[in-house]
A = this chain, B = another copy of it.
Amino acid sequence: MSDYQYTERIIKQMIAAWAEQNKRVDVFFAEYNEDVYLKEVAPKRNRAIYLLGHLVAVNDGMLPLFNLGDKMFPELTADFLFTPDNVETKMPTVGELKKQWKELNLKLSERFNAMRVEDWMGRHTSVSEDDFTNEPHRNKLNVLISRVNHQAYHLGQLKLMHP
């Protein structure tokens, strides 16, 4: 098997790992009534609804970072990315966030599957051309790897909830 085919296979495996984490989040947020997700995952820790908004905001950031377009839900950035969980924050409902999560991941999946090996191995928009020459591991695939781990991290927390 050629190396090009190896590289394509690995990239497919990483996209599959990302999709698998998305699916586990889907399953978790389909399991209970909406009011359950208004509870904290553990005493004095983030509420599940906050973590869902946070995961949407983080995945959404991959669109501009990969030069695939603007964020779909830029209104979530301030409250779910730059601000810790706060009961005073006026949030969308769990149902609205779940809808955004699905729409976003559908769009990202389509875009990811259309990207070529060279796209994945190319720099993301927050690293300069000069820096990328010296640090070629700062490519789009590395961002995806890090996002998959970030989702697993928060999924582990969500699964500690007592519904």
Chain A residues in contact with chain B, CB under 8 A?
A: 1-4, 6-7, 9-14, 16-17, 21, 41-45, 117, 121, 136-137, 141-142, 145-146, 148-150, 152-157, 159-160, 162
Contact of A6 with B7 in the complex, beta carbons under 8 Å: yes
User: A113 → chain B, closest Cβ, in Å?
Assistant: 15
CA distance A121 to B10 in the complex (A): 9
Other than the known A3-B4, A3-B7, A149-B152, what 15 A-B pairs have Cβ atoms closer than 8 Å?
A2-B3, A4-B6, A7-B10, A10-B11, A10-B141, A17-B145, A41-B42, A42-B160, A44-B162, A148-B149, A152-B152, A152-B153, A153-B155, A153-B156, A155-B156
Contact of A156 with B162 in the complex, beta carbons under 8 Å: no
Contact of A10 with B9 in the complex, beta carbons under 8 Å: no
